[in-house]
A and B are shown apart, each in its own frame.
Chain A
């Protein structure tokens, strides 16, 4: 299968969608529940933590130019341990797809397709993901770029049109449930940005791996800003105790837009933003998990794996019987402790490289 090459903007679009699509679902309510009105800057704290970890990954990619993150693991810790680290990344990405897709399915079920069974919604979504994965990273990157600017425009329009519901006083108390609490949750929930590892996984698809740092920092900053804007606008639209009760506060906020008798209920614009952003983001994560899996088991051709991965995703998405279990147990655990799975392989590799390999590399370069 032809992997293809993508440009920097295309990669940024993929990463931003993968990171920011979570803002459309239950995460907003969950964040407000944990930190109250401080949610909008808690996200920025998470983002800073993620940028710190990304810097470590960037250091590794600079030390091993032209290689992707999985090959770097193999080089630093050896093939066997490297495969284990790659497998951890594969599982983390796979679980991210399943959980976010389940959140998306339930939100769609509640707000859009009331009578459709979740299996139908998930099935259609997975068929789209699988089809686009067959086109390779090139097709995926290009469609991400093609749609992202339209989505960003829609998003901004919706935000601007919602200004009538904004009430500045709802932002107070500005420290939410306390600064310490906000910082602690900010650090813990930094896994919300863990999708940046996709950049390492897709590194070889870039025209120039030297731009990896630029792409990563830009993606994390843009993704963080989008989530922060969403949280900010939701917090100033609803009292925080109401926000915690809403499955999809952003959708509710958009449905309140009303300008005259005809220009109201324009959720349709938002539905496209919500759906397409999730489709782009989750397809990128899904494709990333396939690449990791193929690397672990030395599979050259991804084609046969794509469909089986699609079926596995379908099953894992629907395996949890109800949305309450997802919201009360799985999502909080995954968001709270997901950083362990996302960051541990990078930490281990970076530490070993720093302690044992860096000196050797410097000696080789000098000689």
Chain B
């Protein structure tokens, strides 16, 4: 190695090329990005009789050997016939594969007549003792099922493929519902595994008319979803419309029920959610009984419910679990909380800026003395506190459990106290922001709660601009928009606007024997749910 000397610094050397990675636009167009896309352009591709062509096609489609977890296991059945199995390592039960499928195919097929016309049926009937076996001759379908955890068996000389369901993969156990807690209701929640979720529903709803239809969503990703409803109760137009909307989804990136919700909702520009999301199977079943449909997406620990109204988002399962007196009481408390969460800061703004004469003298003096040392105008003061509150809330929901709670307490107590002592905000404002913040926690649905949080800022601005006049203008537009929203054809504010017959549990809950009818807005086939 050449020894470096001090005069080397005066000698010109070519710079070494920068090895930093830059992601530039690919010169290839996107028509060939999906290996499946190439074949999809034309008609549906059927499998070949020649096993070598099938093998070549599968390798090409799954990018083998680049794709390391796709396993192709060649074997001979009946002692001399070429066959191969395709499966994804990690999605199948290996014990089952080795001890049942491979063993039986290699050892138990010796007595079978290969020339027999129904050789495939004989394999299914006599050799393969697997619970679910499907047949297909379409490459697309076969490949989808392989990605779903099926094992595909191709046999030389046959243009049909057997799909063996020997799925097994790690999954989460059923746990307590995290976001929709109840005191008396069931504690279990949905999990990410679709068959487990369906089994929970079947266990809770022992109705022979409970229909579960499986569908695939999206263009390439083929995430599975289940459409669940009770035949004979639901209006048949709802599942039809739902299937139409799900089939229209062309996105490749549907990974959760939240994403699907945005694809199938009636209007993407409305602030309010038009699909309800629940993680509680008991609540999901109560919706099924009301004549609604569920969509459960593989990989999402919750179910989407359609059609919904504002009052579905507003209620919890506790309202009906409890006796009607207690249910009514907590429902009224929740209504007060919702009104406070939306309007309280805006009302404060209107009172302080425009209608001081409406505040009693003592309270006015108290507010004035509290605001005396604050250097900011009321709108800045309120906005800063609201944003700070939202920051604390967002931060506490993103950090791990125990720290999150601590962060909330530290933020609310210490920061608030320090801000008042520093003279940056008035104590009364802290009370207003905290009260409206706490009130927003009574809203059981997360999406509705977010809508309310956003609405609050709208009313603060309206109150700042024109006091109570501005707030009433805002209320008119706000409620008019709410009244014009529809969820799968059902008015969002039903049964209040439009007025429809209901089971009398909008705000005040009736005794349980008084709740005889299914919601009229659902136009169910059976109107009465109890006699």
Residues of A near any B CB (own CB < 8 A): 6-7, 9-10, 108, 112-113, 116, 120-121, 124-125, 127-128, 131-132, 135-136, 138-140, 142-143, 145-147, 261-262, 264-268, 271-272, 275-276, 279-280, 283
Contacts and interface: CB of A to CB of B under 8 A. Distances in A.
- Lowest 5 CB-CB distances: which A-B pairs, in order? A139-B484, A142-B483, A275-B472, A146-B497, A142-B497
B404 interface: no
Given A125-B473, A264-B360, A267-B358, A146 B467 contact: no
A117 to B, nearest CB: 12
A128 B476 contact: yes
Contacts of B345: none
A276 B475 contact: yes
A112 B360 contact: no
B499 to A, nearest CB: 6
A264 B467 CA distance: 19
A272 B484 contact: no
A128 B465 CA distance: 14
A333 B493 CA distance: 42
Nearest to B492: A142
A276 B469 CA distance: 9
Given A128-B473, A128-B477, A268 B468 contact: yes
Contacts of A9: 499
B360 A120 contact: no
Contacts of A132: 476-477, 480
Contacts of A143: 476, 479-480, 482-483, 497
Contact of B496 (A108, A112, A146, A271): A146
Contact of B498 (A7, A264, A275, A280): A7
B446 interface: no
14 contacts: A7-B499, A10-B498, A113-B469, A127-B473, A132-B476, A143-B480, A143-B483, A265-B357, A267-B358, A272-B472, A275-B468, A276-B476, A279-B473, A279-B476
A286 to B, nearest CB: 13
Nearest to B474: A128
B468 A142 contact: no
Interface in B325-353: 351
Interface residues of B, number: 32
Interface string B499-528: 100000000000000000000000000000
Contacts of A142: 480, 483-484, 491, 493, 497-498
Nearest to A139: B484
A275 B477 contact: no
A275 B480 contact: no
A118 to B, nearest CB: 12
A125 B470 CA distance: 9
Interface string B260-297: 00000000000000000000000000000000000000
Given A135-B481, A139-B483, A145 B498 contact: yes
Interface of B: 351, 354-355, 357-358, 360-363, 465-470, 472-473, 475-477, 479-484, 491, 493, 496-499
B183 to A, nearest CB: 32
Given A10-B498, A138-B484, A271 B476 contact: no
Contacts of B355: 112, 267-268
Contact of A268 (B358, B477, B480): B358
Contacts of B480: 131-132, 135, 139-140, 142-143
B343 to A, nearest CB: 11
Contacts of B469: 108, 112-113, 121, 124, 271, 275
Contact of A136 (B351, B357, B484, B496): B484
A136 B480 CA distance: 10
Given A7-B499, A121-B466, A275-B469, A146 B479 contact: yes
B358 to A, nearest CB: 5
B443 to A, nearest CB: 19
Contacts of A135: 480-481, 484
Contacts of B473: 124-125, 127-128, 275, 279
Contacts of A264: 360
A145 B494 CA distance: 12
Nearest to A125: B473
Contacts of A124: 465-466, 469-470, 473
A127 B360 CA distance: 33
A276 B472 contact: yes
A267 B360 CA distance: 13
Contact of A265 (B358, B468, B470, B496): B358
B496 A113 contact: no
B88 to A, nearest CB: 48
Contacts of A261: 360-362
Given A113-B354, A143-B483, A261-B360, A280 B476 contact: yes
A135 B476 CA distance: 12
Nearest to A104: B469
B275 to A, nearest CB: 21
Given A132-B480, A143-B479, 11 more contacts: A7-B499, A112-B468, A116-B466, A120-B466, A124-B466, A124-B469, A128-B476, A135-B484, A272-B472, A276-B472, A279-B472
A365 B477 CA distance: 47
B112 to A, nearest CB: 65
Contacts of A10: 497-498
A113 B357 contact: no
Given A112-B468, A261-B360, A275-B469, A147 B477 contact: no
A359 B102 CA distance: 92
A262 B363 CA distance: 9
A241 B499 CA distance: 45
A257 B111 CA distance: 101
Contacts of B472: 271-272, 275-276, 279
A94 B507 CA distance: 40
Nearest to A132: B480
B278 to A, nearest CB: 26
Contacts of A121: 466, 469
Contacts of A138: 484
Contacts of B497: 10, 142-143, 145-146
Given A131-B480, A275-B468, A275-B472, A146 B493 contact: yes
Contact of B479 (A6, A120, A147): A147
A262 B467 CA distance: 21
Max chain B CB contacts within 10 Å: which of A108, A138, A143?
A143
Contact of A113 (B362, B466, B475): B466
A10 B499 CA distance: 9
A131 B491 CA distance: 19
B475 to A, nearest CB: 7
Contacts of A268: 351, 355, 358, 468
A121 B472 CA distance: 12
Nearest to A145: B497
A202 B362 CA distance: 51
Contacts of A6: 498
A296 B527 CA distance: 45
A266 B358 contact: yes
Nearest to A276: B472
A113 B351 CA distance: 12
Nearest to A133: B480
Contacts of B476: 128, 132, 143, 147, 275-276, 279-280, 283
B424 to A, nearest CB: 28
